[in-house]
């Protein structure tokens, strides 16, 4: 992979990393349950919102782990290699999903 192209993927991954960190921070803010209420529907809504917020935070953390792993591969020189077959991951795949771990053939076979 050309150094220029690798640098572009690195920059893209670093931008994604910063966005994910900001989203995680935002999603981890506590849910405001408001004042005590006698309406159980409001409590149910707040609890459901908190559950949804936790699910979103978990997904964001998983994506951040993938981005961090890709940045680690750039540092050690293994970025762009398919973890399944060892071949180069196509630029078309990395352009869409720069943290991709698999080439097009291995992705379609899963």
Domain boundaries, the chain: 3-28+49-108
Q: What pLDDT score was predicted for residue 37?
A: 59
d(CA 9, CA 31): 36
pLDDT: which is higher, 87 or 37: 87
d(CA 67, CA 70): 5
Task: Output the pTM of the full model.
Answer: 0.78
d(CA 32, CA 25): 16
Q: Does 3-28+49-108 carry CATH code 1.10.357.10?
A: no
Please write the tens of the pLDDT for every residue from 59-96: 999 999 999 999 999 999 999 999 999 999 999 999 99
Mean predicted confidence (pLDDT) in 89-107? 95
Q: What pLDDT score was predicted for residue 66?
A: 97
Please write the tens of the pLDDT for every residue from 8-34: 999 999 999 999 999 999 887 776 655
d(CA 60, CA 33): 23
d(CA 17, CA 11): 10
Contact 78, 59 (CB under 8 A): no
């Amino acid at each position: 992979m050309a150094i220029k192209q690798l640098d572009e993927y690195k920059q893209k991954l670093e931008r994604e990393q910063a966005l994910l960190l900001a989203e995680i921070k935002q999603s981890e803010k506590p849910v405001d349950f408001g004042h005590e209420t006698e309406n159980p529907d409001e409590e149910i809504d707040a609890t459901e919102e908190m559950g949804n917020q936790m699910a979103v935070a978990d997904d964001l953390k998983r994506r951040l782990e993938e981005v961090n792993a890709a940045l680690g591969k750039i540092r050690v020189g293994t970025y762009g290699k398919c973890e399944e077959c060892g071949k180069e991951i196509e630029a078309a795949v990395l352009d869409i999903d720069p943290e991709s771990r698999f080439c097009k053939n291995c992705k379609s076979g899963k």
